[in-house]
Amino acid sequence: MSKTPHVLLVEDHEIDAMYYTRLLEKQPESSRVHVTHCYSLAEAVAILGRDRGRFDVIILDLGLEDSQGISTIRTLRHHEHDVPVIVLTGNTDHSMVSQALLAGANDYLLKKQDDEKLVNHTLFQASYYRQRQHKVA
């Protein structure tokens, strides 16, 4: 990719946020990702409204203080239709996966189980998003 992908990480647990930010930003240069972190859905919506076009991927926890479950994705999609959303959650309910994808998520990863996949999935979604944007422009 020509520029470092920019990710919005929406995670309300400080330790998880630090862990995933470090995981994404401390990769070799060809796989490095820049992360902007926020703690709530309301903050994410404000950032996306202010910085439209800045992000290549959104990594979203479904258990936030101001929003829980599938409604979190729906609300986010109401404000941001195009940027890929990777759900990163501790919820292991398999029915939640299909609900999340139907609500607009592009990918669904489990915390502490799919951590190694996160970097690859993030880079893939960012690359695919950029290719789509380039074709539209």
Count of CB atoms situated within 10 Å of the CB of 128: 14
* Position with higher pLDDT, 29 vs 57: 57
Average pLDDT of the residues of the chain:
89
Residue found under tokens 């789509």: 132
Q: Which domain holds residue 55?
A: 6-136
Tell me, yes or no, whether 1 lies in a domain: no
Residue 120 is inside which H or E element, if any?
A: helix 115-136
36 found inside a domain: yes
3-state secondary structure of 4: coil
108: which 2 tokens? 């669904």
What percent of the chain is modeled with pLDDT above 70? 95
**What are the CA-CA distances from residue 119 to residues 91, 102, 128 (Å)?**
20, 23, 14
Closest CA to 24 of 134, 121, 119: 119
Q: What are 37's two structure tokens?
A: 């972190």
- Say how far apart CA 115 and CA 69 lie, in whole Å: 20
Higher per-residue pLDDT: 12 or 131? 12
- The pTM is what? 0.90
Question: Residue 83 falls within a domain, yes or no?
Answer: yes
Report the number of distinct structural domains present in the chain: 1
Whole-number Å distance between alpha carbons of 37 and 14: 10
pLDDT in tens, 30-86: 677 899 999 999 999 999 999 988 999 999 999 999 999 999 999 999 999 899 999
Residue 1 scores a pLDDT above 50? no
Task: Provide the CATH number for the domain around residue 17.
Answer: 3.40.50.2300
Is pLDDT of 11 > 70? Answer: yes
